[in-house]
Amino acid sequence: MEIKQYQSIIEAILFASGEPVELGRIAEVLEIDADTAERLTEDLMHEVNTRDGGLMIVKLDKSYQMCTKNEYAEYIRKALDIRRNTPLSQAAMEVLAIIAYNQPVTKAFVDQVRGVDCGAVIQGLVAKNLVEEKGRLELPGRPLVYGTTADFLRCFGISSLNELPAIPQKDDSDMVETNFDEIIEENSGNPNESMAAVSAAAVE
């Protein structure tokens, strides 16, 4: 099979899925090794993302997803009558930052950092698919642990958690608070700077 045929199959899989597809699954379907699958998908991603069209491919950790380009978001909302999500509260922004930088974490850990019960806030983030359950600790009561999702990565325009910015120092007087929700809805501006600002507030 020629390279173009492989890439056409990958493109069709990503388009039909609508969800992130793991690289291992792509390699399995095409019956090729993971390195070849990654090279083919990366080349396809570059081709799709640079062509004059409305679609793009994003890398989310070890998965790939096809989605629409950011500049067409408003037109899509109008066409599909999609309403904006309810903005995240300051508490939700802080909890999300705590989870993102310390995952996997328990509710008790988040409660301890913030000094208040965060159960309802965590469940709100789960409902928005920014946070998800990652399993249970082998401790008395087997508490749930939480981590961020592929949607979290996509909203912040990063491919993996390794791309999260370093947490700024508390004495950084130039740190400016940023509207976390605008990034989540628009995926515009500099999400790394915004995440850093949120994390600073969360760990104070």
Q: What is the pLDDT, as a whole number, of residue 84?
A: 61
Claim to verify: residue 129 and residue 198 sit in the same structural domain: yes
Average the pLDDT over 151-155 and give the result: 85
Integer Cα distance of 1 and 176 in angstroms: 53
pLDDT in tens, 115-152: 999 998 999 899 888 999 998 888 888 889 999 998 88
Dihedral sign for Cα 90, 190, 83, 130, please: negative
Provide the domain limits for residue 183: 90-203
Claim to verify: residue 34 and residue 68 sit in the same structural domain: yes
Task: Tell me the pLDDT band of 196, cut-offs 50, 70 and 90.
Answer: very low
Claim to verify: residue 46 and residue 24 sit in the same structural domain: yes
Domain count within the chain: 2
Claim to verify: residue 133 and residue 169 sit in the same structural domain: yes
Spatial contact of 14 and 21, defined as CB atoms under 8 Å apart: yes
Q: Which structure tokens are listed for 35?
A: 């390195």
Task: Tell me the pLDDT band of 178, cut-offs 50, 70 and 90.
Answer: very low
3-state SS assignment for residue 22: strand
Spatial contact of 40 and 10, defined as CB atoms under 8 Å apart: yes
Average the pLDDT over 73-100 and give the result: 81
Q: Residue 46's domain is classified under what CATH number?
A: 1.10.10.10
pLDDT in tens, 27-50: 999 999 999 999 999 999 999 999
Q: Is the pLDDT of residue 62 over 80?
A: yes
- The closest alpha carbon to 144, from 163, 169, 166, 126, belongs to 126
- The answer to whether residue 157 is domain-embedded is yes
Claim to verify: residue 141 and residue 195 sit in the same structural domain: yes
Q: Mean pLDDT of all residues in the chain?
A: 80
Share of the chain above pLDDT 70, in %: 78
> Final residue of a domain: which of 51, 78, 105?
78
Claim to verify: residue 74 and residue 130 sit in the same structural domain: no
